[in-house]
Structures are given as C-alpha cells and as structure tokens.
Structure 1
Amino acid sequence: MDFVLSDLANLVGGRVCGSGDVPIRGAAIIRDARQGDITLADNPALEAELSSSNASAVLVPPDYQPVGLPSITVENVHESFAKIVSALRPPCQHQTVGVSTAAHVSPSAQLASNVVVYPGVVIGEGVRIGADTVIYSGAQLMAGTTIGKETVIFPNVVLYEHTVVGDRVLIHAGAVIGAYGFGYDMQDGQHRRCAQLGHVVVEDDVEIGAGSTIDRGTYGATTIGAGTKIDNLVMIGHNCRIGRHNLFCSQVGIAGSCSTGDYVVMGGKVGLRDHLEIGHKVMIGAQSGVMRSIPDGQRHLGSPSTPEREQMLKQAAWAKLPELRKQFKALQKQVRELEDQLSRSGRDAA
C-alpha cells in the first residue's frame, strides 16, 4: 500500500517538516532503508548514519531535526513507527474461522465464542478455551488444560495436562509447558523419578518464546506471574515461582524451586542454581552464574555472580594482571642479580 508523508503524519498524529507529498512505499531501519522508505532515528547521534541512508523520510523525536531529509516529528518514535509499519505491511488475517474439521477436539472440551482452531490441533478431554483465542496447527492441549480469552498458541506448542493459561497470553512455536521436572531419587543404585503430580499456571499477559520449556511442580504449581516476558530457549524448572513483569532473555536457565520478585531482569544465558530467592527489581547480567539468593534492587554480574561494583573491581584487577606479571618477572630478575652480587661479594671477602 502506498502513502505520501502527510498521510503517515496524520496516522501517527505527527508534524511534517519538509514536503508532505513525498511518496512512501515501505519502512525500514536506517541500515536497510531504500528510496521510497521511511526510517526512524530516535537519537541525534544517528545523524551521520542517517545522512548516508537512502531513505526518503525519517521519523524523529521533538529534540532532533535532521538536515536535508523530510521528517515527521512525534513524541514516541518507536510506537509511531510500529503503527506506520503495520499500515504499510498489514498483519496477515486469520484464514480459518471457527474449528477446522481437520482438528481433533474431544467432545468434552468447552470452546467459547470466536475460538479459532487450525488443522492438526489436538484438544484433549475437559479442555476449556476462552473467547477469541487462536490455536495454530500442531498444538497439543492435553486433558484438563484451561486457556483464557484472547490468547494465541502458535504451532507445535505442547500444554501438558491441567496447565492453566490466562488471558492475552502468547506462547510461541515449539514451547513445552508442564513437562516432568528433573527430579530423581537414588534407589537400589538407580535414579528413580520423583513424583510429578503438579502443573503449571501462566498468568495474564505473559509471553513465552519459541522452544522454551516450563516444568510442572512436584505436587503443586510452577507459576509464571502476570506480564512476564520470556525469550526463546528459556528453561524454568519445577516448583519455580516467577513474579510479575519479569524479563528473561534467551537461554536463561532456572533450576527447580527458585522464586523471583516483580520486575526482575535476566540477561542471556544467566543460570540459577536451585532453591534461590531473587528479590524485586533485581538485574542480572548476561552469562552470570547465580549461586546465592539476591536481595531486592541489586545488580549482579559474573560467574559466580557478585554485586555489580564488586565484579567491576575484579574485572579491573584481572585487566592489570598481564602488566603485573611483567613487573613481577622484572623484580624476580633484579632479586637474582642482587643475590649474585651478594654471593660474589661474600666470596671476595673470604
């Protein structure tokens, strides 16, 4: 769909600087923009990069006015750019209405109004699905699962029995919710699986990335708090209790029986040992290995993780080691020379 710049300004409630008649056929970031595209620059520091771009127009904040390029000034650059991208590349609409005849739906399942079920979905006994929820092909909803309204389950997701999913949840392709936890007892020289009688509760407005796994509780629930966002390939162990509005980046691994407060952030590849308590608003840097509980509000880095300032001091010390090694070797050489001098002086005196 083609627009001129003034059309897009009206769409986002922005102000045009320069010609409003510039035709816009696409949208892209500065690096990828071509003639006919609108791009975005949320910081004056991007001026040099923008000046070499092929973009025909740019979306900017009020404190930045680019030179020589038509622009739209808006309060929130990223929110407005998302609206423009959606207008230029409208999202695909659901092609299937209702429940596909190629899906297997148990007669005891209860589906509310406007539920969309694509071919190849398997919905088990006693499953309940709220209004306006979409289930894509290949998803498996095992017996007793409950899903709220306006939730989207993408292809090949598996929800084990008695999983509870709230409203407006997104679960991306290949995620597995409610698998057995990794718990074993040693009996007669063999690893015997512990009880796996619990389930998983995913509260409202949660997003779970592709390929992520959340294990069921041993006897009760593993819980994911409202508003939490989980990236691809994250693993959350059995009996964990994740707080509200957490952010977990890719490849985070949380061992069993850990808990987090609200607004916790974990960078990529963070690992937590079992039975830890992570406080509210804690931030943990990428690749950190957490071996101890962390109080509210702290920032941790490293493996084993320590408070940010302590870790920075350690890193600064590590950076000095090569020079310290040179100095140490020089001192060793001086000591040997002094020892040789003293030895010769002793022989001469004798």
Structure 2
Amino acid sequence: MSIALRDLAAAVAGTVVGDPALPLAGAATLETAGSAEIALVDGADKLHLLARSRAGAAIVPRGTGPLDRPTIEVDDVHAAFAATIVRFRPPRSRARCGVSPQAVVDPSARLAADVEVEPLAVIGPDCTIGPGSTIHSGARLAAGCTIGAGSEIFPNAVLYENTRVGARCIVHANAVLGAYGFGYRVADGRYALSAQLGWVELDDDVEVGAGTTIDRGTYGPTRIGAGTKLDNLVMIAHNCRLGRHNMICSQVGVAGSTSTGDWVVMAGQVGVRDHVHIGDRAVLGARSGVSGDIEAGKTVLGEPAIDLRDRKLQLATISKLPEMRKELKQLAARIEGLERAGRADEPPASAEAA
C-alpha cells in the first residue's frame, strides 16, 4: 500500500514542501528508513541525520523550509508522525469477547455491561468494574477491588484486596498493587509482620508500568495522584502519597510515608528515604539519593542529593583532581627545597656559641 505525500499531509494538517504526489509505503526512523518511507525530524539539530538518511521524505517542524527531499511541515511533529505510522500500520483489531466463559468471575462482582474480561482473568468477590474497562488474560483482582471507567489491566497484573483504580488508568503486565508493606517489629526475639490493613488508590489517568509495585498502606491508603505516570520497575512503599502529574522513571525506589507535590520528576534509579516531602515541580536527577525534604521547584543531583549547580561544581572539581594532585606534589617539592636551602644558610650552632 502506498500513500501520496499530499494525503499524509492532509491527515495531519501539514503543509507539503516538494513533490506532493510522492508515493510512500511506510514510516520509519531516520536510521532505518528507505527511499519509499517517511521519517521524523523533530528539530533543527537532527537535520544532519536527515542528510545522511535514505528516507524519501520527512515530517519536520513548521518553518523548516525547503530541504533536499520532500517534507511535511507540521506544528506537532511527534503527534503527526504517530498518526502517520498508524496510517501505514493500523492497530490490530481485537475481537471483543465480553466476559469470557474461561474467566473466573465471582457472582458478587458487579461489572458494567460493556466490560471486557479475557480468558483466565480472575475477578474476586465484591469487585466493581466500570464501563469500558478491560481486564486482560491472567490478571487477578482480589476481593473488593474497584476499577473506574475506561481503565485497562494488562496480563498477569495482580491487585490485592480493596485496591481502588480510577478512570482511564492503565496497569501494565506483572504490576503488583497492594502487596504488604515492608514493615516489621521485633516480638519474642524475631521479626513479626506489622499491621497491613490499608490499600492502594490510583486517581484518574494514572499509568503503572510493567513490573512496578505499589505497597498498601499500613492502616489507610497508599495514594497515587491524578495523571501521575510510573515507569517500569518502580517501587512505591507503604503509606506514600504521590501528587498529581508526577513522572517517575524506571528503577526509582520511594521509601515509606514519603509524599510529593504536583509535577515532580524523578529520573532513573533515584532513591528516596522514608518520611520526606518532595515539593511541587522538583526535579531529582538520575541516581540521586534523597535523604531529606526537597524544596518546591528545586533541581537536585547526586548522593546525597544537592542543588544541581553545586553538584556540577563538585563534578568539575573532581575531574581536575589528578591535575591538582600533580600541582600539589610540585608545590610540596618546592617548599621542601626552600626549607633545605634555609637550613643550609643557617650558621652552625658552634659558631653561635662562640
């Protein structure tokens, strides 16, 4: 199937620069695109990659101007490229199964009329699933779970009892919501599990990545605010309260009873200790180790996490340590030489006595 450049442009409200009749058979990255494919250039800094690419055409930011091959200029290059890919590779339609007879659904569960429950999913007692939601194969909802409208629970995700999921949420494969928190006390000379009587709450439009775990609260909820996105392999401990629209990247670990404001960003492998607060719009750089509260709007980096500017100064200094060590040895040698010369100029003790 080939599509003319003009037709692709019309579908994304773009402007053609070059041959509008150019036929294209697909969309690909700059590195892999062939002469019959269109590629994405998302900024002027990528034009040199286009010059080396075999792509027959490109989607570029509006105002780029004529290049060495036809282009479509658009306002939002990523949205336009995604729409173009879908034109060439439409999503596979999934046959709707309703509630599969191979699913296990407790008679007390309440499911909206258009809910999809795939084979081998398990819906426990007193669960409620809202309109338009999908529970994929192998997912397991324990007793008392609530799923909001339009949410999707992917294969083999596990929701422990009383987990509450808002509207339009996505829980990816193998995520675990509501496992016991890591809380113990010493009793009779051994560790005994503390009370684990709470639950997990996801507000609307939350996304939980594959393999991510969110522990239940001790007595109340561990809560994830509306619009927050958790990457794959994230750990959120018991009693945490994450604000709205947080972005939590892969391999972040947040210890118990920590809270965040809105629009907080945690880059990969950040570690946050328990009982601290991260203010609105704070940014925690990759592999930061956070041991105390972070002020709103602050960007930190390092372990322990400190202000980004201070950390950069530290790193710049560290890179100069070999040179500084060499200079220090030279200075020490000069001082030692001066001291030897000074001692040589001193009159002998016997001369002073005379």
TM category, shorter: over 0.9
Percentage of pairs with the same residue? 50
Q: Normalising to structure 2: TM-score of the pair?
A: 0.96
Q: Is the 8 A contact 2:170 2:208 kept in 1?
A: yes
Q: Distance in 2 between matches of 1:31 and 1:88?
A: 18
1:30 CA displacement: 0.9
Partner of 1:99: 99
Q: Distance in 2 between matches of 1:137 and 1:248?
A: 27
Residues 31-50 of structure 1 correspond to what in structure 2 (within 5 A)? 31-50=31-50
Residues 174-185 of structure 1 correspond to what in structure 2 (within 5 A)? 174-185=174-185
Partner of 1:229: 229
Q: Distance in 2 between matches of 1:334 and 1:348?
A: 24
Q: Distance in 1 between matches of 2:151 and 2:288?
A: 33
Larger radius of gyration: 2
Letter in 2 for 1:219: Y
Residues 198-347 of structure 1 correspond to what in structure 2 (within 5 A)? 198-346=198-346
Letter in 2 for 1:26: G
Q: Distance in 1 between matches of 2:347 and 2:238?
A: 75
1:94 CA displacement: 1.8
Partner of 1:81: 81
List alignment gaps of at least 5 residues for structure 2.
Answer: none
Query: Counterpart of 1:30 in 2: which secondary structure?
Result: coil
Query: Counterpart of 1:82 in 2: which secondary structure?
Result: helix
1:45 CA displacement: 2.1
Partner of 2:56: 56
Partner of 1:3: 3
Q: Distance in 2 between matches of 1:161 and 1:189?
A: 31
Query: Counterpart of 1:48 in 2: which secondary structure?
Result: helix
1:159 CA displacement: 0.4
Q: Distance in 2 between matches of 1:113 and 1:92?
A: 24
Q: Distance in 2 between matches of 1:255 and 1:334?
A: 53
For residues 66 and 46 of structure 1, do their structure 2 counterparts lie closer, same or farther at Cα, with a shift above 3 Å needed?
Answer: farther
| CA deviation profile, 1:60-110 (whole Å, cap 9, x unmatched) | 112212422111111111111111111111112222420111111111111
Q: Is the 8 A contact 1:196 1:218 kept in 2?
A: yes
| CA deviation profile, 1:166-215 (whole Å, cap 9, x unmatched) | 11111111100000000111222211111000000001001111000000
Deviates more, 1:287-296 or 1:61-70: 61-70
Q: Distance in 2 between matches of 1:340 and 1:175?
A: 71
List alignment gaps of at least 5 residues for structure 1.
Answer: none
Letter in 2 for 1:62: R
Residues 64-213 of structure 1 correspond to what in structure 2 (within 5 A)? 64-213=64-213
1:44 CA displacement: 1.8
Q: Distance in 1 between matches of 2:348 and 2:33?
A: 83
